[in-house]
A and B are shown apart, each in its own frame.
Chain A
Amino acid sequence: MKYLHLIWAALFRSKTRTLLTLLSVVAAFLLFGMLDSVRVAFNSGGSVAGADRLVVASRLSITQMLPYNLLTRIEAQPGVKKAAYAAWFGGIYRDPKNFFPNFSVSPNYLDLFPEYKVPPEQVKAWLNDRQGAIVGAALAKRHGWKVGDTIPLQATIFPTKGSNDWPLKLRAIFEVADSKRKGEENMLLFHWKYFDESNDYVKSQVGWYTVKLDDVNQASRVAKEIDKLSENSDHETKTQTEQAFNQSFAKQFADIGLIVSAIMGAVFFTLLLLTGNTMAQAVRERIPELAVLKTIGFSDRSVLGLVLTESILLIVIGGCIGLGIAAVIMPGVSAASGGVIQLPTVLPQTWALGVGLMVAIGIAVGLLPALRGMRLKIVDALAGR
């Protein structure tokens, strides 16, 4: 630390060069912060919530439905604490561009999702209204809905008595406290019973079951037992964790991991060149000074350390600023989009990976100039003036 002043002075010897390099580093890590956060979100790897829940869906296809009478048999399985069901509805509110997920659910659905906070009296009102709906706070805010409003959903798949009109009464609004899962507030739920009785096409069919486990460590066994119930029937099931279910779906979009990696590879490669060039210039300019340092007693290792530290410091400062900007921007973008685009803020693992990259890049770009500085011959350097 006693040399910090010396390093700092060296760093800002050329303010213009350092500032411009810093800004390039900021841009690179801003991009890294955003893209890596998206990658993490897509992999849903960081989420611990829902680890004790399983999703039972048709093995045949995401669009194939399951019989309602499977419910009692699932509930009877050892290890199953509770089961709920839901069916995709896919309705539209006024314009297809307004799209948000909407589906019908069992009366006890919210019991399996305690993270959805709803005032008890609103739950009661919802349970008492056959055509009642629950929406997330973000969705209600986006459309200016209040409890008591009528939401005229238009069916795209399931007409009722030949019509696509499914008017629903808003009875409850739920909130998700976890900021990383705010996106789930863009959702509408209504009664499966109403759906089953009123739609023209399917009867006693549900889209999937959600199962709450007694013991999370028994997940694999319970999953196999549930699937065994329907083996060799026309409604074979595939039971997996909520996380695995979500991930298998997200993975079917373009290979996000590959895209993100390719872009970051290009970005950091150019960053290496830029900062490497900067450090090389900086050291070249200061050869006489380094010679003087050696003359007055600095060891080769000290000079190596000084130059290397300078390089790492430059990258770390720029990198932290970039990640900081990303952390500030992304929630802002999410808020501005009314929750449609749900970008997570920069997660701790992204910060950790980012800092690791900063140090690695700092070392990579500083090493050659530092070695050159270390090997400097005093007489040659001074004579070079």
Chain B
Amino acid sequence: MSNATSAHSVVEPSARSKRIAGIIVVIYAICTMVPLAWIFMTSFKSPPDSISYPPKLTFTPTLEGYCNLFTTRTRQTTEYIQSLGPPTSTCDEITRGRNMVIAGPSNYWPRFTNSMVIAFGSTFLAVFLGTLAAYGFSRFRIPLADDLLFFILSTRMMPPIAVAIPIYLMYRELGLSDTALGMILLYTAVNVSLAVWLLKGFIDEIPREYEEAAMIDGYSRMQAFWKVVLPQATTGIAATAIFCLIFAWNEYAFAVLLTSGEAQTAPPFIPTIIGEGGMDWPAVAAGTTIFLVPILVFTILLRKQLLRGITFGAVRK
């Protein structure tokens, strides 16, 4: 009998070992989440609550951090504030409570939209070019294909700072420095290597017979690609797009070196949020929270494709 149970335990671990494994993993997962949860909580604290010691677990939630993030404020006298009439928004109310008035919108929103424009623009381009190239590499005999593919991969090995110097000079010559277009092209170039590798894997898995059948029915190669292969590759294309998006969304090194104002994205901007008397941590936390939400959603959507994406498809799951 002991033999039977032990033979069984090979494939299926015992209930006890499962439980222990589960407890350890859950403890680790919760520890991992503590910093994120803390940032989320901080974004709803008032500035004094955020810097109290010992750290406060219970506090009265306020939207002050978000309000500080999206507006710039100036300190005013009580008399002046009283002369203003009733507050027009929640944000207005919060600011007036601290003897301040809203002077205008802050820089966060333009930075956030820059992030959106650059991330989505470069993702679209990278996926578009990547799909074409991946199809080319997957279906046609191309001289030195392996070398070309390795060359495409090797462009990822360079430290960003190393290429940043000449790109900085090149962009200065071309008038592309600190423009969204320049950043889109740059991120496209960085992402296209990932896109080609990933999509080649996905397209390799679509049987060639489909296109051949379509071509025998009278489709041209282009029509077969457009009407047969692309619909089959939709899942792969979507997964690739999300990976490109996450990279472009998170990138910092190029952004901090090549943009200063106009085209600056959120990652280099968030650390520069300063309130009166040092860092305005609730505002920083609010900016971080808003910035992280899309990524959290994508992580959940993407969990099955994750492995392929982060390893350039070198490992399949």
Q: Do A and B bind each other?
A: no
Chain A positions within 8 Å of B, measured between CB atoms, are none
| Chain B residues within CB distance 8 Å of chain A | none
